[in-house]
Structure formats: C-alpha cells, structure tokens
C-alpha cells in the first residue's frame, strides 16, 4: 500500500471538514487490494453528534460497502491519531492497521495518551504506523485552531 497516496486522500477529507467549520480531520479506509471502501471527515457539529468523527463516518461507510461490521483486512488512514472512542470502534471492527499523520497528546488512543492497539487485555491488536504526512496534518489542524482563536478575540 502507498501510505503517502492514501494519506493525501485523508488530508483532502480533512480539508472538507475545515470548509464546513468542523475540526479538520479526515479518514480513508482501504481494503487489502487497495480499493477505498469508506471515507469521511469530522461532522460532529453539523450532525449534532459527538460520535461523528472522521473515523466513525468512514467505518460506517466501509461496513455498509462490504455489508459486514468486521473489516479484518482493512487499513484506515487518518490525519490525526484516533481518539479513544475511535480506537474502540476500530478495534471492534477488527481493522488490520491504523496509519495516522500527527499524534494527539490530549486524546490519542493509538500511542500518545493511551495505547489501545497493543493492549494485550483486549481481544484484538493491530498494527500502528504514525508520522505519515505529519507536517501537513499538523499544519491543517493548527491553522484551524489558530483561526478559531483569532476570530474569538
């Protein structure tokens, strides 16, 4: 799999979130053959739903695409490290791998704050790859919050 290519697609999803005033995080889910089976960007504000994170939106679409709630051979590409809620959903869906851009030290569930991916007490563990397009992912989210703060002044 070309991690750079798929992360660029996730970054495009993040830009969609930014355009609608959502925290700019994007996700792409790819099957073993490299076909995109789900994608999403944050929609919590417009959906009035705290669960409408990019990863959850992409998971729902991927499961609908393959008509199964399990995605055992799939990889998710997400611009920012998945939060604890999203990592829980990713583990329940049995994804094979998580590839993310920038770490999230405040909410990260894939190594920064918590490490659900390698918790041997859980019945599923998965591979984590971090730092793909880190600078671009970090810049999008940093600019979003910088702009948001400057509008509040």
Q: Which residues belong to the active site?
A: 55
Q: CB neighbours (10 Å) of residue 115?
A: 13
Assess contact for 78 and 99: CB atoms under 8 A.
yes
Instruction: Indicate the SS3 state at residue 137.
Output: helix
DSSP 53-92: -HHHHHHHHHHHHHT-S--TT-EEEEEE--BHHHHHHHHH
Please choose, from the candidates 25, 134, 136, the residue with its C-alpha nearest in 3D space to the C-alpha of residue 86.
25
């Amino acid at each position: 799999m070309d991690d750079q290519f798929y992360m660029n697609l996730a970054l495009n999803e993040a830009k969609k979130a930014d355009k609608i005033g959502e925290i700019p995080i994007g996700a792409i889910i790819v099957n073993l053959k490299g076909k995109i089976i789900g994608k999403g960007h944050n929609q919590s504000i417009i959906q009035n739903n705290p669960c409408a994170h990019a990863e959850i939106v992409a998971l729902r679409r991927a499961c609908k695409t393959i008509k199964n709630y399990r995605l055992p051979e799939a990889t998710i590409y997400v611009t920012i490290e998945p939060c604890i809620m999203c990592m829980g959903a990713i583990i329940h869906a049995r994804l094979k791998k998580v590839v993310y851009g920038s770490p999230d030290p405040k909410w990260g569930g894939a190594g920064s704050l918590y490490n659900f991916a390698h918790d041997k007490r859980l019945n599923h563990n998965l591979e984590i790859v971090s730092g793909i397009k880190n600078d671009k992912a970090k810049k999008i989210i940093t600019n979003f919050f910088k702009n948001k703060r400057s509008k509040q002044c």
